[in-house]
Amino acid sequence: MKAQVNILLLAVLALLTLSACESGAELKVFNRTSFPVFVRMEGTSEVAIPAGGEHSFDVETETQSFLTGTIREAKSVWATGETYRIYDRFTNTWTDSTEVIFEPGKTTKIYMDPNRASIKILNSCPRTIRNIDIFRHDFVIPTRIATMENLGPNQMRYITVNYSIPVDSSVQPWTPTPSTNYYYYAIIYFSDSEYYTYGGENTILYKDQQYLITHVDIEKSPKEHTK
């Protein structure tokens, strides 16, 4: 009789253990910008999520049961976008990665809201662009903020940049300052004597906007577009 009770208790314990076990979590990413974002996790390939789209990642975790208690695991996540970057409030710097805490059986959600503007350059001519200098101008002095090198035919690159703050009619008075209002321009070099300038005083970018430069053959007209 005692042996039967022990067997019954073991069976109940096994059933409880199996029913209470959970492993694996989910990361769900929502792109709430107007442009693509790019996300990857440890051991996964980068995924491009289109504007307004979403993507789910399966996350491996240890098995959690009533015997182990709550399990929390930190995983590295890399995320960036054409008008989004992770901002580290502890170091006050922009970064491309962070750690996310996961619990087995649970879904963690990340909402990528726009917090940058961007400049994208597409080389649509058959020659390689030697270098591209990108400047921010605060209507007082220009500052070179980035240099791109060796942009081949049909290649494209972008950088995220600070955005200007638009005039808010509800705030009176409001006066644009060098820290809240500026424009951008880019100089594309094929050589020291052959270069092309894009942008100017009208190239003021606000949050979630992009200045797209398409450089074509010199016989054709260059294209530039702010979206």
How much is the pTM?
0.79
| 215 Cβ contact partners less than 8 Å away, ≥ 6 residues apart | 121, 122, 123, 124, 125, 129, 188, 196, 222
Assess whether pLDDT exceeds 70 at residue 69. Answer: no
Cβ-in-10-Å burial (0-12, 13-18, 19+) of 14 comes to exposed
Q: What pLDDT score was predicted for residue 24?
A: 73
Please, what's the largest Cα pairwise distance for the chain?
99
Q: Which range scores top for mean pLDDT: 11-20, 35-44, 213-222?
A: 35-44
The residue type of 39 is: V
**Gap between the Cα atoms of 162 and 118, Å rounded:** 8
DSSP SS3 for 134: strand
What's the whole-number mean pLDDT along residues 169-182?
62
Phi/psi at 18 (5° precision) = -65, -40
Angle in degrees, CA 194, 182, 191, rounded to 5: 10
Question: pLDDT of 191-213, one tens digit each?
Answer: 888 999 999 999 999 999 999 99
What's the whole-number mean pLDDT along residues 69-79?
82
Q: Determine which of 36-50, 84-98, 138-152, 165-179 has the lowest per-residue pLDDT on average.
A: 165-179
Enumerate domains of the chain plus CATH numbers.
Answer: 22-112 (2.60.40), 117-226 (2.60.40.2890)
Q: What pLDDT score was predicted for residue 67?
A: 56
Question: pLDDT of 84-129, one tens digit each?
Answer: 999 988 888 899 999 998 888 889 999 999 999 999 999 999 999 9
Give the number of residues written for the chain.
Answer: 227
**Gap between the Cα atoms of 12 and 27, Å rounded:** 33
Report the mean per-residue pLDDT for the chain: 84
Q: What pLDDT score was predicted for residue 79?
A: 97
Give strand ranges (E) for the chain.
25-31, 37-41, 47-49, 54-59, 73-81, 84-88, 93-95, 97-102, 107-112, 117-123, 129-137, 142-151, 156-161, 183-189, 195-199, 210-215, 223-226
> Sheet containing 183-189: which strands, arranged edge to edge?
142-151, 129-137, 183-189, 195-199
